[in-house]
Structure 1
């Protein structure tokens, strides 16, 4: 496939309107852009997206989330890899700087926390604010997230709408349906709370699919914090489990930074524990 895969010309043309909407969005700066890829590129990316049983998926399977990721672009199809490269290109980063008003953005080809994501029937992702700094480049502060949804179809009744919550965790202020070829861009902060906490009801064999990429700026003394999972007002006794799991993950995050523990090693352990739970 030749030529640009991302419709950057249209994105640039819409930039004056989009940047104003972005700055004014509630509960935190964000925008939703449809038809980001050309039709040909989107269809090819969907066709290449790994199947639910692909051996390169690694599971994040614990109280606060049940999803799978693939952070190795060399295992992806050629279109998926090329799309990610365009979204990490200087031209697209310049577009993001204009959209968000954040200068000096750095794309992260190492996919620290990003990459391809899938969530299966019954899966969820509790409300959270993302980890705040890169795990290898310690002066890199995480500033912008993009989520490009790669579902061929996603009926509303399957759930999985991404909820955007206010800073006080009092109410969900916006919802984003993971419609195919839709991109959500939002500013990452200590209180940009988001997630899809209710179990998916999609059929077996279907998955909520996305490409996640994160962008950073270099800071002298960035605030370092692990993923901050939060309970919703109606979560009741689940609050204790959410807090305990968040605390355990914070300890893992600190160990990962200090000892160089890999996500792959931990995911193998979590996957084994999940299989034991299912057998029980």
Structure 2
């Protein structure tokens, strides 16, 4: 089955051809493609997309910083969606991303879909501007690339839900992307690649903002892209907006990770396992 738009004859070459555009993008390396996939396939993926608010094994975020639904792994994927997502984790796509991004370390997919897979935001929902978690929960690999597939037909500008890319100093949104059907956003994830959907969704009550998220990793990365330690999602304030985000409380675990050298933490874990 051909998952791509038939007009894309050589995916790897497309990555080579678009590399300069990707690397030169503001405020950080990124690119948007329209009509990237085979429309018939994506129509079926959309048709099979469940109402995540009605499913049991779904992560539901409902706080000041994020109001959204996120599926766990492949549990609710239909057969065609499973085949489609496996393709997005396959060799041809990895080679395309390697060429597009110019990343030297070998890119690896996430078959567990940690934080990825089905995403859905209902009216009034949002995702404040943030930097993503930088290490995979299980493999501890470094998160390098996000690929987002939007699935929203007849999506009007007035509905909102724009994917926004913010500058490092959080003074302005440098790019706003409407999440329309068969639009793909790809960007490099660092501790300073701030992005999100920060304003409440204003679509009709019978609509929702649907997407599929894919994350790609490497074993090691340039030190200039990260802070000193691994972290979860880090929300940041937009300039001149009072109480834009709510800081999450600092836990005892955070304090320990800040002050205890990693080598001592590893040693302690080994001792606890033996016990």
User: Which range, TM-score by smaller chain?
Assistant: 0.7 to 0.9
Deviations 1:211-268 (A, max 9, x none): 00100001299841221101111321x14xx2423757x95xx8xxx9xxxxxxxxxx
- Which structure has greater helix proportion? 1
Kindly indicate whether the alpha-carbon contact (under 8 Å) linking 1:6 and 1:86 is maintained by their aligned counterparts in 2.
no
Kindly indicate whether the alpha-carbon contact (under 8 Å) linking 2:148 and 2:214 is maintained by their aligned counterparts in 1.
yes
Deviations 1:41-93 (A, max 9, x none): 01111111112543143202222100001123142111211111000001110
* 1:271 aligned partner: none
* 1:126 aligned partner: 128
Q: Number of aligned pairs?
A: 246
Once residues 75 and 161 of structure 1 are traced to their aligned partners in structure 2, the CA distance between those partners, rounded to angstroms, is 26
Q: Does 1:105 align with 2:107?
A: yes
* 2:220 aligned partner: 219
* 2:159 aligned partner: 158
Specify which of 229, 233, 237 is matched with residue 239 of structure 2: 233
* 1:266 aligned partner: none
1:154 Cα deviation after fit: 1.2
* 2:248 aligned partner: 245
* 1:14 aligned partner: 14
1:205 Cα deviation after fit: 2.3
TM-score normalised by structure 1 residue count: 0.82
1:153 Cα deviation after fit: 2.4
* 2:173 aligned partner: 172
Kindly indicate whether the alpha-carbon contact (under 8 Å) linking 1:151 and 1:178 is maintained by their aligned counterparts in 2.
yes
Kindly indicate whether the alpha-carbon contact (under 8 Å) linking 2:53 and 2:69 is maintained by their aligned counterparts in 1.
no
Question: 217-226 or 157-166: which moved more?
Answer: 217-226
Q: Does 1:115 align with 2:113?
A: no
SS of aligned partner of 2:62: strand
Judged with a 3 Å threshold, the aligned counterparts in structure 2 of structure 1 residues 151 and 34 are, in CA distance, closer, same or farther, namely same
Q: Which runs of 4+ in 1 moved over 6 A?
A: none
1:100 Cα deviation after fit: 0.4
* 1:272 aligned partner: none
Judged with a 3 Å threshold, the aligned counterparts in structure 2 of structure 1 residues 61 and 91 are, in CA distance, closer, same or farther, namely same
TM-score normalised by structure 2 residue count: 0.83
Once residues 96 and 198 of structure 1 are traced to their aligned partners in structure 2, the CA distance between those partners, rounded to angstroms, is 30
Decide which structure has the larger Cα Rg and report it: 2
Kindly indicate whether the alpha-carbon contact (under 8 Å) linking 2:52 and 2:70 is maintained by their aligned counterparts in 1.
no
Structure 2: 5+ residue stretches without partners: 258-264, 266-275
Once residues 41 and 246 of structure 1 are traced to their aligned partners in structure 2, the CA distance between those partners, rounded to angstroms, is 43
* 1:135 aligned partner: 137
Map 1:51-66; keep pairs closer than 5 Å: 51-55=51-55, 56-66=57-67
Once residues 226 and 212 of structure 1 are traced to their aligned partners in structure 2, the CA distance between those partners, rounded to angstroms, is 17
Once residues 120 and 20 of structure 1 are traced to their aligned partners in structure 2, the CA distance between those partners, rounded to angstroms, is 36
Judged with a 3 Å threshold, the aligned counterparts in structure 2 of structure 1 residues 12 and 88 are, in CA distance, closer, same or farther, namely same
Structure 1: 5+ residue stretches without partners: 259-280
